[in-house]
Structure 1
Amino acid sequence: MIMRTSGAAALVGSMVLGTCLLGATAMAATQSIPLPVPSPKRVAQASQPARAPLTAPALTGNPAAGNVVPVATPPRAGGFDGSQKALADKVSGYLSGMSTLVGNFIQVGPDGGRTEGQFYIQKPGKVRFEYNPPSPIDVIADGNSVVVRDRKLATQDLYPLSQTPLRYLLVDKIDLLKDTNLVSVSADDVFVTVVIEEKQALTGTHKLMMMFGAKDFQLRQWTVTDPQGYDTTVAVYNLDPASKPDPGLFRINYERVLQ
């Protein structure tokens, strides 16, 4: 089954999970995870079915304690100053130096639904998100395409990787200042935040916000805003950059997709 609608592309663009209330106590013991909640506007509009990953207003704090505070993302005003360029260069260095990454994730969708699971990245271009039950979804990219697989329905929806904001996390090397439309760079004591915006003729305008630790520049969270203004946020934790994922995790059965 192949889907080419802009709504489906936005779903993959925001990329990661369904609805499952998380057990955050154990995760909070590992590290503080920035966890978003939907705005009242999003809740009011969220009669749509839950979509597979990336987007929601970003918040910081301890999710187990419910202590979350919105993180402002100031708009770009003219060019970036020297400190902003230095931050962008450090983020570019981190992303370019990362070849593999394995960990756990929490996804919060536009309707406030939460789910969690495991993810595997192998650059360039390969990623797998495995959602914990009751979600039946897996998301797999093999370097060229992205497939959203429903284990319960035995269906697969195929998208070009080049059309999803997720590709910025998966490219081999990246210079945010040269290779993207970087619209915002900001930092506080906890996070460095960058925002990329792109406009496409077929799918409209997407925004990708990525948040990194202010001290180690390690990836903490990303948020994708689709052309309709819906947000999906993915927070990651228990990160292991030394683990080598099995190449079989990233294989897509194209014969099954084309049936």
Structure 2
Amino acid sequence: MKNLILVALIVGLNVASTLPAAAEKLSLNAISTYLNGLKTAQGAFTQINDDGTISTGTLYISRPGKMRFEYDPPEQALVVASANAVVIIDKKSNQPPETYPLNRTPLSLILARQVNLDRARMVMGHDYDGTATIVTAQDPDNAEYGTIQMSFTDAPVQLRQWIINDANGGQTTVILGAFETGVSLDSSLFDRSVALRNRDR
């Protein structure tokens, strides 16, 4: 399970959601503006792992810099990103939790204080598939940590999913469910010390 989550991070709308039929290709500036305006969000996610297995759970976002993945049973996993680090906790594992710098994950692009997709060497692809705008991006200062491919629909602009491709060729897809934005989130959700204390309960 630890490796499953680590792939989702380093390489994390319901699957059956119907996409708008009259979408248009979004500019990089429009997408940057949308992400910068996304302060808090909460909703379900479905994760398709590199080995084809599927996980589900609840995702919490508090920009800048904070994200929490709560995985549904039977998995007993939790991932918390805050204070420029990511802690991965698996209650079923005998190994201690692991911590990694947030900037080693492409998710740091979504959680950045200021998203600017026009930055040199950040965007590797900007396409439109008929229903969604697809942006493939990397951290230009840490390209070795992988890429993130984000899908956005229009009217209104919404992030629908992302695909993480890691440096080892692994791929993990996170599909966002019905998301509520602008919500009030308790700061303890992103407190790594609280998550670690709760691990052994």
TM-score normalised to structure 2 length: 0.82
Deviation, structure 1 residue 227 = 1.0
SS of aligned partner of 1:90:
helix
The answer as to 2:10 corresponding to 1:13 is yes
Provide the rounded CA distance (Å) in 2 between the counterparts of 1:171 and 1:215: 24
Structure 2 spans left out of the alignment, 5+ residues = none
The alignment status of 1:241 with 2:181, answered yes or no, reads: yes
Q: Deviations over 1:150-200 (max 9, x none)?
A: 122363110001111111111122110116610111124311110013477
**2:57 and 2:72 in contact (8 A); partners too:** yes
> In structure 1, what is the Cα distance between the partners aligned to 2:33 and 2:132?
16
**Distance (Å, rounded) in 2 between the aligned partners of 1:180 and 1:241:** 30
SS at match of 2:118: helix
1:226, CA displacement in angstroms? 0.7
DSSP-derived class of the 1:177 partner: coil
- How is 1:92-107 mapped onto 2 (pairs within 5 angstroms)? 92-107=32-47
Distance 1:8 1:204, change over 3 A: farther
Q: Which runs of 5+ in 1 are unaligned?
A: 16-23, 34-82
CA contact (8 A) 1:102 1:239 kept: yes
Identity %: 29
Q: TM-score, normalised by structure 1?
A: 0.65
Question: SS at 1:124's partner residue?
Answer: coil
Count of residue correspondences:
190
* Cα distance per residue 1:89-111 (max 9 Å; x no partner): 11101001111011110000111
Other-structure match for 1:204 = 144
How well do the aligned residues superpose, as a CA RMSD in angstroms?
Answer: 3.1
CA distance 1:231–1:87, shift in 2 (3 Å): same
- CA gap 1:12/1:189 in 2 versus in 1, 3 angstroms: closer
Runs of 4+ in 1 over 2 A off after TM superposition: 7-12, 152-155, 197-201
Q: Which has the larger radius of gyration?
A: 1
**Matching of residue 185 in structure 1 with residue 126 in structure 2:** yes
Residue type of the partner of 2:29?
A: D
Partner of residue 160, structure 2: 220
Aligned to 1:171: 112
> 1:7-64: CA deviations, max 9, x gaps?
996553233xxxxxxxx9xx467x337xxxxxxxxxxxxxxxxxxxxxxxxxxxxxxx
1:108 counterpart = 2:48: yes
Name the residue aligned to 2:101.
160
> What SS is found at the alignment partner of 1:248?
helix
* Partner residue in 1 for 2:87: 147
- 1:230 Cα deviation (Å)? 1.2
CA distance in 2, matches of 1:186, 1:127: 27
**How many Å separate the matches in 2 of 1:87 and 1:200?**
23
Amino acid at match of 1:217: V
**Equivalent position amino acid for 2:132 in 1:** F
* Contact 1:187/1:214 (8 A) holds in 2: no
CA contact (8 A) 1:115 1:131 kept: yes
Task: Give, as a single letter, the amino acid of the residue that structure 1 aligns with 2:124.
Answer: V
